[in-house]
Every structure is written in C-alpha cells, then in structure tokens.
C-alpha cells in the first residue's frame, strides 16, 4: 500500500502554483479530560475573531465532539470523505466568528481503525482543498495513538495541554518523549489549563520543563494559562465558545492573549509552510507509523 501514498507525495511536489503559507498547529495532550478540545475550539474562535482565516480539523477520528461543543449539527463528516461520497470541502461547516470546521464521526469504530488505504484517501482529500487559510488547527485525540503521532509530526507547531494532576503531567511527558526520541521533534508549546493564576501555571510548566531538560533534548515554550472560570463552564453547558458568548470573562481574555501569541509566530515560507506540504508530511508520518 506504500506506493499509492508515495505517488501522492510526488504529485504534490509538482503542483504548479503554490498555496499561500499556512500555520499548521496541532493541539495534543497526554491524557483525556484536560480540556484540550475546549482550548482548541476557543483558540480557533479567538484567531478567527482577530480576522484570521482558520480551519479547525477534528482529528479525534472515532470520538469527535467539536460539533457537539458548539451546538452544530453537520450533515456530513470525515466518514463520508473516506467512503468517497463527499469531498473535504463538502463537509466543512461554519462556526462562531467565521471559524471553519472539518467534523469527524463520533462513536464510529471504523474511523478509529482506518486501513492504510483509507488513511491515504483522507490525506489525499487535503491536497484537493481550495480553501484560503491562515491557520490550520488540528485537535488531535488524547494519548499516543498512530493518528496522534501522524498529525502532530505533520504540523509545524505542537501545543501540549496539561493540568496540575500527576496523570496529566506524566502523560504529557510521555507524549513529548515519544515525539522527541522516535521522531526528532524538538520544540513544543505548553498551555497550563485550569490554573488559579499565572504563577501556578508557571510552576506547572516548570515541573514538566525540569524533567524534559534532564532527560530529553527538547525546548519547551510556556505559552500561557487558561484559568479556572465559571463563565467557561457556563459556555460549555450552553454549547458555545466562551470567546463569543462571554467575551469579557477571564477565560475569554486568556484565549485572546494566546491567539495573539500565535499571530506572532513566524509563518514558515519554506515549502513546509504550504498546505500541500502539510499533506506530504502527513503522508510520510502515516507511512512510518503504519
């Protein structure tokens, strides 16, 4: 099955007109339940509110929930792309502030167990997209599955979400260790979630940074915090983004601050800064993890 994906990669290299550079950012966490998807959604809405063209990919292929979090009811999802009945552009839905979303399927075991050919078909769909983008945000699944590795390796930037509990810290370190030692990923951004203040967030970051500095050859960037906030809980219950539902809240201000940091990250103008080369990196990553 390796020949078909390799053919895709060769074809992508020969594209006659390059797309505009796109920031490709994967958001990951070592364990579930740390607020990763909520952070990805609100970061996407904050970026879109600042005038960026943002596409959010729900890459938790079998347990997707971004549509649920935003009260959306998409008619189609990635399952229909993989079975060939729809193109990627056909399934994109619009969320708050013009945020574009690629929904995945929920409770469909087949989506979590894609064959190499099906995975290649999904990747090929990206090469056919004609969306003009500034940022592609990828909400990966929790853990260290093959799909998580593929998507994080294909991204230019990786954000790791962690909260102050032992399992979260241990699993975040495990993810960073795997990507560093097995796939030579060298740089990670860290968001401390559900902290009381910036000092508590910095202390949480320092716990991870200290272990990484001792055992791994990586650099970690403390991106910031998302504080405990009852307004955020209210927004979740309303199936709304806190950024657009309660923009004066502490958590909305935090997401706006994080989005401004992302805006200042340089756009890679080499080939890997273009969407087709995200696709190529995704092909290569999926081949190596197959």
Q: Are 134 and 262 in contact (CB under 8 A)?
A: no
Identify the three-state secondary structure at position 274: strand
User: What are 114's two structure tokens?
Assistant: 């894609």
Dihedrals φ, ψ of 207, to 5°? -60, -45
**How far apart are the C-alpha atoms of 40 and 139, rounded to whole Å?**
6
Choose the weakest-confidence range: 19-23, 116-120, 253-257: 116-120
**How far apart are the C-alpha atoms of 81 and 48, rounded to whole Å?**
25
Per-residue pLDDT tens for 109-150? Answer: 555 566 666 666 666 677 666 668 899 999 998 888 877 888
Identify the three-state secondary structure at position 111: helix
User: pLDDT: is 4 or 154 the higher one?
Assistant: 154
Bin 143: left if φ > 0, else alpha if -120 < ψ < 50, else beta. left
Residue 290 reports pLDDT greater than 90: no
Domain 3-9+22-285 has CATH 3.30.70.20: no
Report CA-CA distances (Å) from 57 to 67, 90, 162. Answer: 11, 14, 20
Residue 23 reports pLDDT greater than 60: yes
User: pLDDT: is 191 or 129 the higher one?
Assistant: 191
Mean pLDDT, the chain, as a whole number?
A: 84
**How far apart are the C-alpha atoms of 9 and 6, rounded to whole Å?**
5
Please give the biggest Cα pair distance in the chain: 53
- DSSP code of 143? S
**How far apart are the C-alpha atoms of 188 and 191, rounded to whole Å?**
10
**How far apart are the C-alpha atoms of 231 and 248, rounded to whole Å?**
9
Rounded to 5°, the CA angle 104-105-111 comes to 95
pTM for the full predicted model? 0.87
The predicted pLDDT at position 79 comes to 83
Per-residue pLDDT tens for 158-175? Answer: 999 999 999 999 999 999
CA atoms within 13 A on the CB side of 239: 10
Mean pLDDT of 48-64: 88
């Amino acid at each position: 099955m390796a020949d078909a994906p390799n053919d895709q990669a060769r074809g992508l290299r020969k594209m006659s007109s390059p797309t505009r550079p796109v920031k490709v950012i994967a958001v990951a966490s070592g364990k579930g339940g740390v607020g990763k998807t909520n952070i990805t959604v609100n970061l996407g809405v904050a970026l879109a509110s600042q005038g960026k063209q943002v596409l959010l990919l729900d890459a938790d292929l079998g347990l997707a929930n971004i549509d649920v979090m935003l009260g959306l009811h998409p008619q189609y999802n990635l399952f229909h792309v993989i079975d060939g009945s729809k193109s990627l552009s056909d399934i994109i839905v619009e969320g708050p502030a013009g945020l574009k979303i690629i929904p995945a399927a929920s409770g469909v075991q087949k989506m979590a167990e894609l064959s190499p050919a099906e995975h290649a078909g999904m990747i090929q769909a990206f090469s056919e997209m004609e969306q003009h983008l500034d940022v592609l945000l990828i909400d990966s699944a929790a853990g260290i599955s093959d799909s998580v590795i593929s998507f994080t390796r294909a991204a230019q930037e990786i954000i790791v979400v962690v909260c102050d509990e032992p399992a979260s810290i241990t699993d975040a370190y495990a993810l960073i260790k795997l990507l560093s030692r097995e796939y030579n990923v060298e740089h990670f951004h860290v968001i401390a979630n559900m902290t009381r203040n910036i000092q508590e967030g910095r202390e949480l970051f320092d716990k991870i940074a200290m272990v990484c500095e001792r055992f791994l050859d990586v650099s970690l960037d403390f991106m910031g915090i998302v504080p405990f906030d009852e307004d955020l809980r209210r927004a979740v219950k309303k199936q709304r983004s806190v950024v657009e539902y309660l923009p004066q809240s502490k958590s909305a201000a935090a997401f706006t601050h994080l989005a401004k940091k992302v805006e200042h990250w340089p756009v890679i103008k080499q080939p890997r800064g273009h969407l087709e080369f995200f696709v190529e990196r995704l092909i290569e990553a999926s081949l190596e993890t197959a």
